[in-house]
A and B are shown apart, each in its own frame.
Chain A
């Protein structure tokens, strides 16, 4: 016979949620990995229903992109600006600043670099460094207004940075459809950069952009982990009130970190114009702002993790482009897949923080 005391019909069973104090890191990693797997399965299902043959998925995403040296180089090349926006996102989020203005800062970085190229400022040997400095300065300045408004007037930075994005996009269109249009044809882009204004290939087809991105990643690692500012930043992040009370210059730390974030986004803009396109185009920024936020979120604001995630997102970008060519699948697919992955990983936090326990009959 059944032991009726321990047996309950399925619908009569009751469950309760408990808040977990701590979960070992390897369990956390497993939960997140499972969430990523679920996200990928959902994405794969969407891709298949959009008309990609199921057998081609593995081929397209893994074998063709990572095991072919040419496309591996393309992935790394694509990863460079993504690493930069990812790091920019990490920095801003560490200062508890929702920098959704990465795209606007990228656009201004690219405009600054193009201005140096267009007006031929400086000798050819110094042109590229000058463009980099100008790109960083322009990105930094575009981040200045929202952070000052947030610190002094408590203006919501999500709205202000997004509005500044739209303003920057319209200014970019004004330039590329107007006075900066390439006189040789009537397409909406600037004249091509000269050879010495483009990021050169260093060795074996690996662009300077990749090396630069890795150097910046190490710098951000030093900045957040070792430097005094990084220590302050962790203090501000965990408890702004206490930090202020013990004399940490909270406002200056936040200001400096967000401006650095803007400068990195500006440099990302330069990496696309001077690295990939070779000119200022009207939609070079598309998708990068979101990806930067996603990379920072998935990497939990850790610079090294952000670099790794950025390479994976770059794989998605490259595969997305080839899907666009071969199966006419719009590039929005890449954004959709990224959003699904974010939702899955964010949901996995729930299982890390909570435990579901069955309540035995009678002992509620």
Chain B
């Protein structure tokens, strides 16, 4: 019983990075830009968060904000590549990931930020829910866990209920029509890239500053790619992405639990599970629905006004 209680209590800690990264990706991809760079931007957010925490001596909220800004700034490079230079979006996304892996690996060592512990945030308990049996620990979390659903609500409202969101989706579905209607296509795409990347950066900072509480090179460990898969799994719908993130949170939270409870499984096979599950989910999605109607219509296509078709 104790085991189940602490497993449930650990789920949000693992689910939040997936959820925030997937939400950021959805914002970008709804504007019609194929974003594969989540892994790299999460690394940037993770390193910047730790760096800011170490430099400011524990101002964690500022560290998170700085991490978001750092990811936003690096994403301008991606925006330059896909919007201005019109590079193939797959190439640009991969190049961004490799660039960020190299950059964070280099800076983490040169600035000597590796393996330095940071304070993180004090966890907040939501009384009276925190007194509940079994699920009580679900309500004793760091504040960002409670903020995440609010971020989802705000982003969903903006995407689905505001003129801004309508235009963003129009740009993603049919940029030519949006352009004819006077919507600045590249401006909206650029804004979507920066805003989405800031959410992805926050996801990375969550892993390093609030969860692991230190920087280790390449610490995101494929979670960015899993988030990319989650977005496909969720058919670009934020709430489904949140559900998927919770599912992956459940799986990842199980790993330390199994080690602690003394179940003797080969540990490296246990580490494989998130990736194997991702693969399984991808296959399941492919088997279940062949339609691509919920995919943004212009996903992955550069908008080039001179090349009107």
Contact = CB atoms under 8 A, between A and B. Distances in A.
A-B pairs with lowest CB-CB distance, top 9: A332-B105, A336-B102, A335-B102, A174-B268, A339-B99, A153-B286, A339-B98, A330-B109, A166-B275
A182 to B, nearest CB: 18
Interface in B230-276: 232, 266-269, 271-272, 275-276
Interface residues of B, number: 49
B225 interface: yes
A98 B225 CA distance: 14
Interface stretch (B82-90, B124-132, B137-145, B163-171): B82-90
Contact of A350 (B85, B225, B228, B283): B85
7 contacts: A170-B269, A290-B98, A334-B102, A335-B98, A335-B102, A349-B87, A350-B87
B306 A17 contact: yes
A74 B304 CA distance: 46
B228 A332 contact: no
A232 B281 CA distance: 33
A158 interface: yes
- Specify the main secondary structure of chain A where it touches its partner: helix
Interface in A127-172: 149, 153-156, 158-160, 162-164, 166-167, 170-171
A297 interface: yes
A122 interface: no
B18 to A, nearest CB: 14
Contacts of A171: 268, 272
Interface residues on A, range: 35 or more
Contacts of B268: 170-171, 173-174, 177-178
A34 to B, nearest CB: 15
Interface string A325-352: 0000111111111111011001101100
Contacts of A154: 286, 290
Given A178-B266, A330-B110, A162 B222 contact: yes
Interface string B14-37: 000000000000000000000010
Contacts of B98: 290, 294, 335, 338-339, 342
A346 B283 contact: no
Contacts of A177: 268
Contacts of A174: 266-269
A272 interface: no
A90 to B, nearest CB: 15
A178 B267 CA distance: 10
A18 interface: yes
Nearest to B88: A346
Contacts of B84: 350
A88 interface: no
A280 B295 CA distance: 43
Contacts of A293: 94
B282 A339 contact: no
B102 A332 contact: yes
B95 interface: yes
A50 interface: yes
B282 A346 contact: no
Contacts of B109: 330, 332
Contacts of B110: 50-51, 329-330
Interface string B75-86: 001000100111
